[in-house]
Amino acid sequence: MLRIGKVEYKLLSKVGQGLTGKVYQACEVSTNGVMVIKVDTELKIKHEVKMLSRLQSCLCVPRLLRFDARHIVMEKGTETLSQEMKCSMNGTFGKQKGLQIGIEVLRALESVHARGILHGDIKPSNFIRPVISKWDGQIYMIDYGLSQRRNADDKEGGFVGTSLYCSLAIHEKNKLSTMDDLWSALFMIMDMSVQGGLPWREEYKEMKGTKHRRNVMKQRKVSFLHEVSNWREGHRFHDFQKIVRMMMKGDCECEELILELISLSRDIEAICPCVLRKHRLAKAPLDKADTNILNDLERLFRRVFRERVSSMTLRRLLQTQNASAILKRLLRLDNRELRNIDALIKRHLLSK
């Protein structure tokens, strides 16, 4: 039995281990409720509690239930992305699913950054599925032991994170920045989406000795990025060429990467949350008179994307001003397709 405050817990099984402690699945004795408890072995629990408390309004962070000087009690999740990858063919999700998960990862990271926090250790094992999802594909970002305040004056440089995914700036032991989280996220998304994963993945697994492995990983990333201009059609990382070049210029934001991943995946369902976040809704709601417009749009999108699009998605899209211009940017539609969409949306607006 483990007592935290006035509540007793029974530890059921170990589910993970981080740099600062072990994580157990546990049962609250009085209610039989199941949650996870992180047992701190490095006496750094205060920092993580502070970060988690600051992020409790964020839907991509598990609920903080209780804590003391050595323990954190949190909402239970299901599988990590790392566990899901191990069960997938070739240890990757494939392009479409990998990009869809990548969009959710970046949305979670964007939400955390907006609250002034840098994560510092973006990797598949630090993302879990909630037991009850509020939307399809929802994920939680966990483990804030290495997180830092954004633009903090007291930040010091040094290596943080995992050398498989960390940025070159972290290899150089620079101070953690927004771009470092984004580079880690991009390397992770490429590893999840491309068959065979990152070119240095297998070498990373086989190597021993932390310092030597970090040096080798740095060399592999330098070579990889130096060859980006040679990623011709057919190269397995060709789809990511534009994104990598954009990142290499610096000063990139989560939203820009999200738009590029949506464009790559051509996933119409992913557009609405992204567009609605940037543009206000039209005042007049859609009504039954819009049925013909919705049907026309559905046929158009089915022809463009070769898949069915839900009426709810089309309704939300039509409610968004400047929808056609945004679609052109996101989905690289040709002028004929854009004109068709524009005409349908104007018909809707004029009917109001």
The two tokens of residue 287 are 């009504």
Give the Cα separation of 12 and 33 in Å (integer): 12
Share of the chain above pLDDT 90, in %: 52
Q: What is the mean pLDDT of the chain?
A: 83
Q: Beta-strand (E) ranges in the chain?
A: 2-4, 7-17, 21-28, 34-40, 64-67, 71-74, 77-80, 117-118, 127-130, 140-141, 148-149
Q: Which CATH architecture has domain 2-75?
A: 2-Layer Sandwich (3.30)
Pairing of strands 21-28, 34-40: antiparallel
The total of other beta-carbon atoms located within 10 Å of residue 125's CB is 16
Q: What is the pLDDT of residue 76?
A: 93
What is the model's pLDDT at position 209?
87
d(CA 92, CA 98): 8
Please state the rounded mean pLDDT for residues 155-159. 81
pTM of the predicted structure, to 2 decimals: 0.81
pLDDT tier for residue 231 given thresholds of 50, 70 and 90: very high
Partners of 3 in beta bridges: 8
Q: Residue 264: what pLDDT?
A: 83
Name the pLDDT band for 40 (thresholds 50, 70, 90).
Answer: confident
Q: Taking 50 as the threshold, does the pLDDT of residue 287 lie above it?
A: no
Q: Is the pLDDT of residue 83 over 70?
A: yes
Of 268, 220, 261, the closest CA to residue 244 belongs to: 261
Q: pLDDT tier at 283 (50, 70, 90 boundaries)?
A: very low
313 by DSSP, 3-state: which?
Answer: helix
Task: Give residue limits of the domains in the chain.
Answer: 2-75, 80-265, 271-351
pLDDT at 17 over 50: yes
User: Apex CA 250: angle with CA 245 and CA 255, to 5°?
Assistant: 85
Q: What architecture does CATH give domain 80-265?
A: Orthogonal Bundle (1.10)
| Alpha-carbon span 302 to 295, nearest angstrom | 10
Q: How far is CA 44 from the centre of its chain?
A: 26
pLDDT at 288 over 60: no
Q: Which residues are registered as beta bridge partners of 282?
A: none
